[in-house]
Structure 1
Amino acid sequence: MPSGRYSFHDTHDGTPLGEERFSCAPGPSGWRYTAQTLGTDGEPDGSVDLTLDVLSRPLRLELHTGGWQIRAGLLDGLSWVRSHRDDTDGSHAREGNDRAHAFTGRSPAFLVATARLLRLRVGGSSRLRVVAFTDPVLAPRTLDQGWTLDAVDTHPTDSGPLLVERYRVADLETGDEGVVHLAGDVVLAAPGIELEQLETPPSKTVDPAHDAG
């Protein structure tokens, strides 16, 4: 069960944006990732709970930050409800639905989930529609992404060889592109994300029974 700590920073000037303390593991339903997010002052300011099914689709998602909440999952495509903790009777909650493939947001969990969903081979690429929940108010936005698996590199470690996947990920609307490095179900580095601490090794794959090899 990998666990550790990610830090976030502004991709333009490097300004620190907080941290995420996480744990994740394969399970009976597929894969689950849970995390507590912290602000730049070190105080807890939210949480992430994502469960994938055996096909690496987002079975259930719950996000909290700054009083805002998202509850989402698979239902006639992807569906979600966005609400605020001050809205005690739910009268201002907003529902959404889209024929998208995956959710995305600041958490590294979404990068792992999308990579496992696509299951690309080296040199392969794919385009998919995602629903992004953007900080600080978890506002939903639908966009198209392009993913390409450029290489899988082998790095020797004390516990054996570590396979690191290198992806190019592009926002197809803006043309913005970044490089994402994954080892199993852990993000080693990505735009605005650094792995600061890893207490246990990554799981080799989210769903061994459906690994494309």
Structure 2
Amino acid sequence: MPNGRYSLHTDTGPAGHGPALIGEERFSCAPGPAGWRYVSKTYAPDGSVLAATDLTLDSRCRPLRMELRAGGWQVRGGAVDGVAWVRAAADDPAGDSAVEGHDRAHGFTGTSPAFLIATARLLRLEPGASTRVRLVELTEPVLAPRTVDQGWQLAGVDTHDTDSGPLLVERYTVADLATGEQRAVHIAGDVVLSAPGVELEELQSPPNTWPDRFTG
């Protein structure tokens, strides 16, 4: 079960400076009986907790169960004829502030690198292939939902020799279809190696090879 740490950065920093550090996300992930699960907490530079992510994919890489917490809000959701979710204040156990949502989207996306892995595995692209995908983005810090359309292309797959054997690294180009902005995402198994605003800083064991039963 990979355990590791990502550093998270803003796209741009103050004038004359590079991207600013948001904090770090400490995570663990692994395939299991229900599917693949990713659990993490994100910490600010001062050590305070910014967010928590708990995402489980089913055997077809759809969001079986998703729970996010950030900014005093929580969102629970999953795949129901698209995706459905409930957003409520985290300190509202009675659910009086809860608002339900539904969209004929393919999945969720957000700040956590977990969502890049989930989308890549859902699409199951062959090298050189591309497709469009509709996602519900949950924007931090208040987890407000908005629908986005992205274009994903698997530009290539590289093999790197490591002490534990060959490591296959997938190179994706991800485009925001509303703005045309493109970004490069590198994924190995169930770990993001790099993406805009995301750097893998520590990994205690090699990435899991994605199970064959999750790709059919």
Q: SS of the counterpart of 2:205?
A: coil
CA distance in structure 2 between the partners assigned to 1:86 and 1:204 by the alignment: 38
Match of 2:47 in 1: 42
1:4 aligns with 2:4: yes
Residues 1:60 and 2:65 aligned together: yes
- The equivalent of 1:208 in structure 2 is 212
Number of residues of Structure 1 aligned to a counterpart in Structure 2:
211
Note if 1:143 corresponds to 2:148.
yes
Q: Where does residue 112 of structure 1 map in the other structure?
A: 117
8 Å CA contact 2:58, 2:64 repeated in 1: yes
Partner letter of residue 198 of structure 2?
Answer: I
Amino acid at match of 1:21: R
CA distance, structure 2, for counterparts of residue 54 and residue 4 of structure 1: 24
1:28 counterpart = 2:28:
no
Deviation, 1:211, is 3.4
**Deviation, structure 1 residue 188:** 0.3
Normalised by the length of structure 2, the TM-score is 0.94
1:156 alignment counterpart: 161
Distance 1:116 1:87 in 2: 34
Secondary structure, counterpart of 1:111 in structure 2 = helix
| Aligned twin of 1:84 | 89
Shift of 1:140: 0.2
CA RMSD of aligned residues (A): 1.1
User: What is the distance in 2 between the residues matched to 1:151 and 1:75?
Assistant: 32
Residue number in structure 1 paired with 2:197: 192
The one of 41, 51, 56 aligned to 1:51: 56
Shift of 1:76: 2.5
Per-residue CA distance 1:81-113 (angstroms, 9 max, x = gap): 001123343222111000000100000000000
The residue matched to 1:209 in structure 2 has which SS? helix
CA contact 2:79–2:107 (8 Å) conserved in 1: no
Distance in 1, matches of 2:115 and 2:46, equals 24
> What TM-score comes out, normalization by structure 1 length?
0.96
Cα deviation for residue 146 of structure 1 reads 0.4
Q: AA paired with 1:208?
A: D
Letter in 2 for 1:10: T
Per the TM alignment, residue 210 of structure 1 is displaced from its structure 2 partner at its CA by 4.0
**Does structure 1 retain, via aligned residues, the 8 Å contact 2:9–2:20?**
yes
Check 1:90–1:192 CA distance in 2 against 1; reply closer, same or farther (3 A cut): same
The gaps in structure 1 that reach 5 residues or longer are: none
Does the Cα contact within 8 Å between 2:82 and 2:107 map onto a contact in 1? no
Q: Answer yes or no: is 1:125 the counterpart of 2:130.
A: yes
Structure 2 unmatched ranges of 5 or more: 14-18
Q: Separation in 1 of the partners of 2:63 and 2:202? A: 26
SS, match of residue 162 in structure 1: strand
C-alpha separation in 2, matches of 1:137 and 1:99 = 22
What amino acid maps onto 1:7 in structure 2?
S
Q: Please give the per-residue CA displacement for 1:101-153, whole angstroms capped at 9, x wherever unaligned.
A: 01000000000000000110100001010000001100001011100000100
